[in-house]
Chain A
Amino acid sequence: MNYPVWFLPETGGGFLIALISILHVFVSHFAVGGGLYLIYAEKKGLREKSQPILDFTKRHARFFLLITMVFGSISGVGIWFIIALVNPAATSLLIHNFVFGWAAEWVFFSVEIAAAFVYYYMFGRMDSKTHLQVGWLYFFAAWMSLALINGIIGVMLTPGSWAENMDFWAGFFNPGFFPSLVFRTFIAVMIAACYGYLSASFTTDSKTRVTMTRFSAKWALVSLGLSVISGFWYLSVLSDQSHGLVMGKSPTIVALLPWGGGGLLFFLLVMLGAGIIRPSLNHKPVALLAMVSALLIMGGFEWTREAARRPYVINEVMYSNSILKKDMADLNAKGYLHKALWVQNKQVSEDNLVAAGEELFLHQCYACHTVNGRNNDIVKATSSMSYGALVSYIKKIHEVRYFMPPFAGTEMEGRALAAYIAGGLHGKEIQEPPQGSSLAGPKNGATLFDENCASCHAVEDLTAALTGEDKTAVIGMLKTLNEISDAMEPFSGTEEEHEVLADFLKNTKQGGK
């Protein structure tokens, strides 16, 4: 509300953030773990007095430089650019609060760059002891850089007392700081080993290829095992809500599970089969499969971390749509549009219902929903909902789906948003629902279904579940919906409404809507 919304209806800002950041972390973790890998590969070459291994290490250092210096560092700047474009309020809050953390990270980034250049360009041109020290300095700087960023972005998921006091150190050493740092360190080594495995597949000397393949696979498997253990530690410090989302309440995370799990499985298979048992099987396509698998693991983790803090962008402080939690009551009382800066409709009336609704959509929903796009398309998500269902749903959106922020604004603004979605996007009729059963007469079953169930269910979907149930049983179910799924709450209507809704569901089951 404080900043303009960059509106790319079909693309969505979230997709751009995910694209840039997942690719970036896949390289930036390589930049950290790769330092350690290079040191130990060089040490191995020196210990075994093997020029081919040293040649491999130098070639890998060049590959490392080209990937991390160019793609890694520029995509890192890219994340900064994209988050400021998509979520300027959260970016500004984190930049202002942690400015000296970012500044310290910049110092280590500088040392990292200089050490990487010296390591590569002076390979074989300075005594090995000093060269290894340069490698260690590189690793130290890169790891410190990771530690600093980890402290700052960790606050977004596990803010701890920072959410209340905004104290730099409380935020930096947030409850997730150490588990996340240990987890990321092992992941970094695992990814670095995977890049090493890839480099090995390009090695023409078969003996070196086998040696370095096995070397890389050992690193990969050990660090994978350790990252799984530290992952559980990380999971244990999450809040109950975040924990619940990770464990299955977030549809985003659930949808990703097969990809992440598949990545893990393939990674294990490749590293064990074509790394430890038969390293000679490490050919370019196999190594590529390992890389894709590692990318899926990394992407899965970052995606989960992102989704686990919903409905917030900064847990307990700022919702995904940039609204501060502390402002919510005031916005509900006085209205969102009145307080928002970058809107043209400051008031809502019957005349500007759809136009004001569009601005509300832009400010409160577009952070996660595209319009006719692939990612969380609002048109598809609301296709079965009428205006009345939307009005009712918007009021309790956060209660029904925890991971969505509550709507901020007056009742009239809620109607405006519903009018934009139902009327503006779907071209449906905008007809006011009856105002309370006592004045307007009892609601019929279709209306009750529309208002209470349609946001998640199509009538036909319930047919199978209600087969063979009598009306009393259906009423019983309506009263104990929370026992069927903790994503639902018991139907809160009157006894009469229970009966009407049960009749409606039963009639539908029998084929008459």
Chain B
Amino acid sequence: MDPLFIPQPDTIPVSWGWFQFLLLLTFPLHLLAMNAMLGGLAIGIVQHVKGGELQRQLAHRIAIALPLVIAFVVNLGVAPLLFVQVLYGQFLYSSSILMGVFWILIVPILIIAYYSAYLYDFRFTQLGSAGPWVAILAFTLLVGIGFFFANNMLLMASPEQFGAYFSHKSGTLLSFGQPEFWPRFLHMLCGALAVGGLFVALLGRFRSAANPDLAHHAEHVGLQVFLVLTVGNILLGTWYFFSLPGEVRLLFMGHHFGATSAFCVALLLAAGTLFGAWKKRFWLTFYHAVGLVVVMSFMRSWVRSGYLKDFFSLDALRVVPQYSPMIFFFVTLLVGIVCLGWLLKKTSGALLLERGRE
């Protein structure tokens, strides 16, 4: 057997369960925001290119929302990236270095994509026919970031590949050659585009009083996109499922109670989303889809621990206990939520007043 290159992890201040909890709490939020960003932008581009008044209006609404959504994708990505480093840092730091050139490229790519999104928003009218091209640029760059993330998340779970470092010291290793990479990436991407449909429908609902036609159009388009892509994603998911290493796949087929139960719940939720989208019942679809993303993120966590089973388990992390900083964090979180609530209240109050005046 080739030698393994797995660094020693650092100690953690509280039991790993807390970090797992926080990771699984924040990661689905990041996924939902990311889905809204990618799927929303894709639909916006198609609407913009298609032309027509309602389509253009919808594309504009999406363009206005896009920079805000990107900000929250990034923000909500910070927390899970922090917690996953605490739990799996020895794998993630190593895999990031192995693909260092691409990993650091994410930063300038994201800056360009983000500025493109602002350009698309602030200059939507002035850009004219160039607008969709700016949006396509942003979309391509954002998918590129997703591609690099997918590479790293698979690479970090494949420490048996780490020996390739010695022929990739400048950080040029990627994992898309692994058989499960493409179904995994495409399953995630297709899911993002589908859930983005629901975001578009939701965006339309915000305008239902001011522009009912737009709201109706947005919901129609959003649910249709969701339905078609979710059907497609079931096929991609099946491909992904059978591309997983046997031991990992079996976790979801009775070898692990939690993983198998989550898989069953996910199938039921998927059926619920399809039913809701078919019947054009937005909220039914929406809630099922949010639940599905949450359960899927749990399943993803089992996939990772399944991959790493032979090398590491979270129980191996040594705890040097210090609980007071965690209490400080929870208090801060509470204060933060109160502040966000206050901002929401004041903003919606002002907007209602504004609408009343109109």
B291 part of interface (Cβ distance < 8 Å): no
| Nearest CB in chain A to that of B4: its residue | A341
Given the interface pairs A6-B171, A96-B89, the reply to whether A342 lies near B339 with Cβ below 8 Å is: no
> How far is B329's CA from A75's CA once the two chains are assembled, in angstroms?
24
Sample of 12 A–B contacts (CB below 8 Å): A2-B7, A88-B7, A92-B90, A99-B83, A103-B332, A107-B335, A117-B68, A125-B351, A130-B350, A134-B343, A168-B324, A344-B166
Residue contact B85 to A85, C-beta cutoff 8 Å: no
| Contact pattern, B 224-247, Cβ under 8 Å of A = 1, otherwise 0 | 000000000000000000000000
Residue contact A73 to B325, C-beta cutoff 8 Å: no
Q: Which residues 128-148 of A sit at the B interface, judged by CB distance below 8 A?
A: 130, 133-134, 137, 141
**Pick from A92, A111, A118, A166: contact of B85, CB under 8 Å:** A92
Residue contact A8 to B347, C-beta cutoff 8 Å: no
Residue contact A2 to B8, C-beta cutoff 8 Å: yes
Residue contact A96 to B93, C-beta cutoff 8 Å: no
A484 part of interface (Cβ distance < 8 Å): no
Stretch in contact with the other chain, from A64-72, A252-260, A462-470: A64-72
Residue contact A81 to B350, C-beta cutoff 8 Å: no
> How far is B317's CA from A165's CA once the two chains are assembled, in angstroms?
19
**Pick from B89, B107, B336, B350: contact of A122, CB under 8 Å:** B350
| Contact pattern, B 296-332, Cβ under 8 Å of A = 1, otherwise 0 | 0000000000000000000000001010111011001
Q: How far is the CB of B71 from chain A (nearest CB, A)?
A: 5
> How far is B82's CA from A97's CA once the two chains are assembled, in angstroms?
12
Residue contact B347 to A118, C-beta cutoff 8 Å: yes
Residue contact A108 to B336, C-beta cutoff 8 Å: yes
> How far is B85's CA from A155's CA once the two chains are assembled, in angstroms?
20
Given the interface pairs A110-B75, A130-B346, the reply to whether A70 lies near B97 with Cβ below 8 Å is: no
Q: How far is the CB of A177 from chain B (nearest CB, A)?
A: 15
B12 part of interface (Cβ distance < 8 Å): yes
| Contact pattern, B 125-147, Cβ under 8 Å of A = 1, otherwise 0 | 00000000000000000000000
> How far is B93's CA from A342's CA once the two chains are assembled, in angstroms?
13
| Nearest CB in chain A to that of B22: its residue | A103
Q: Is the interface of A mostly helix, strand, loop or mixed?
A: helix
Given contacts A4-B162, A92-B89, A97-B13, 16 further A-B contacts (CB under 8 A): A2-B90, A3-B93, A6-B100, A7-B170, A73-B71, A74-B74, A75-B107, A85-B103, A88-B7, A96-B13, A97-B10, A99-B82, A108-B336, A110-B336, A117-B68, A130-B350
Q: How far is the CB of B15 from chain A (nearest CB, A)?
A: 13
> How far is B12's CA from A6's CA once the two chains are assembled, in angstroms?
26
B residues in contact with A101, CB < 8 Å: 325
Residue contact A3 to B97, C-beta cutoff 8 Å: yes
> How far is B109's CA from A74's CA once the two chains are assembled, in angstroms?
10
Q: How far is the CB of B123 from chain A (nearest CB, A)?
A: 12
Residue contact B343 to A107, C-beta cutoff 8 Å: no
> How far is B121's CA from A66's CA once the two chains are assembled, in angstroms?
12
Residue contact B104 to A77, C-beta cutoff 8 Å: no
Residue contact B347 to A168, C-beta cutoff 8 Å: no
> How far is B93's CA from A2's CA once the two chains are assembled, in angstroms?
11
| Nearest CB in chain B to that of A99: its residue | B86
| Contact pattern, A 95-115, Cβ under 8 Å of B = 1, otherwise 0 | 111111111101111110111
Q: How far is the CB of B133 from chain A (nearest CB, A)?
A: 20
**Pick from B72, B320, B328: contact of A166, CB under 8 Å:** B320
B169 part of interface (Cβ distance < 8 Å): yes
B176 part of interface (Cβ distance < 8 Å): no
Across the A-B interface, give the 5 residue pairs with the lowest CB-CB distance, nearest first: A126-B350, A78-B107, A100-B325, A107-B336, A88-B93
Residue contact A81 to B118, C-beta cutoff 8 Å: no
B residues in contact with A102, CB < 8 Å: 82
B271 part of interface (Cβ distance < 8 Å): no
**Pick from B106, B329, B350: contact of A100, CB under 8 Å:** B329
Residue contact B68 to A141, C-beta cutoff 8 Å: no
Q: How large is the interface on B (under 10, 10 to 19, 20 to 34, 35 or more residues)?
A: 35 or more
Residue from A98, A106, A125, A137 having most chain B Cβ neighbours under 10 A? A106
Q: How far is the CB of B310 from chain A (nearest CB, A)?
A: 18
Q: Which residues 405-457 of A sit at the B interface, judged by CB distance below 8 A?
A: none
> How far is B96's CA from A125's CA once the two chains are assembled, in angstroms?
45
Q: Which residues 4-29 of A sit at the B interface, judged by CB distance below 8 A?
A: 4-8, 16, 20
Residue contact B165 to A4, C-beta cutoff 8 Å: yes
B79 part of interface (Cβ distance < 8 Å): yes
B178 part of interface (Cβ distance < 8 Å): no
B residues in contact with A77, CB < 8 Å: 74, 78, 107, 110
B residues in contact with A78, CB < 8 Å: 104, 107
| Contact pattern, B 13-39, Cβ under 8 Å of A = 1, otherwise 0 | 100000100100000000000000000
B5 part of interface (Cβ distance < 8 Å): yes
Residue contact A103 to B329, C-beta cutoff 8 Å: yes
B residues in contact with A4, CB < 8 Å: 5, 94, 97-98, 162, 165, 169
Residue contact A117 to B71, C-beta cutoff 8 Å: yes
> How far is B128's CA from A396's CA once the two chains are assembled, in angstroms?
67
**Pick from B118, B326, B342: contact of A70, CB under 8 Å:** B118
B residues in contact with A329, CB < 8 Å: none
Residue contact B79 to A106, C-beta cutoff 8 Å: yes
Q: How far is the CB of B322 from chain A (nearest CB, A)?
A: 6
Q: How far is the CB of B90 from chain A (nearest CB, A)?
A: 8
| Contact pattern, A 79-96, Cβ under 8 Å of B = 1, otherwise 0 | 011101100100111011
Residue contact B13 to A74, C-beta cutoff 8 Å: no
B115 part of interface (Cβ distance < 8 Å): yes
B residues in contact with A127, CB < 8 Å: 350
Q: How far is the CB of B333 from chain A (nearest CB, A)?
A: 5
A460 part of interface (Cβ distance < 8 Å): no
B residues in contact with A100, CB < 8 Å: 13, 325-326, 328-329
> How far is B105's CA from A16's CA once the two chains are assembled, in angstroms?
12
B181 part of interface (Cβ distance < 8 Å): no
Residue contact B74 to A81, C-beta cutoff 8 Å: no
Residue contact B114 to A74, C-beta cutoff 8 Å: yes
B residues in contact with A483, CB < 8 Å: none
A202 part of interface (Cβ distance < 8 Å): no
| Nearest CB in chain B to that of A9: its residue | B170
A residues in contact with B351, CB < 8 Å: 125
Given the interface pairs A85-B171, A130-B350, the reply to whether A113 lies near B8 with Cβ below 8 Å is: no
Residue contact B325 to A20, C-beta cutoff 8 Å: no
Q: How far is the CB of A119 from chain B (nearest CB, A)?
A: 10
> How far is B193's CA from A388's CA once the two chains are assembled, in angstroms?
64
> How far is B162's CA from A101's CA once the two chains are assembled, in angstroms?
31
Residue contact A122 to B347, C-beta cutoff 8 Å: yes
Given the interface pairs A4-B94, A106-B82, A342-B5, the reply to whether A113 lies near B10 with Cβ below 8 Å is: no
A residues in contact with B6, CB < 8 Å: 341
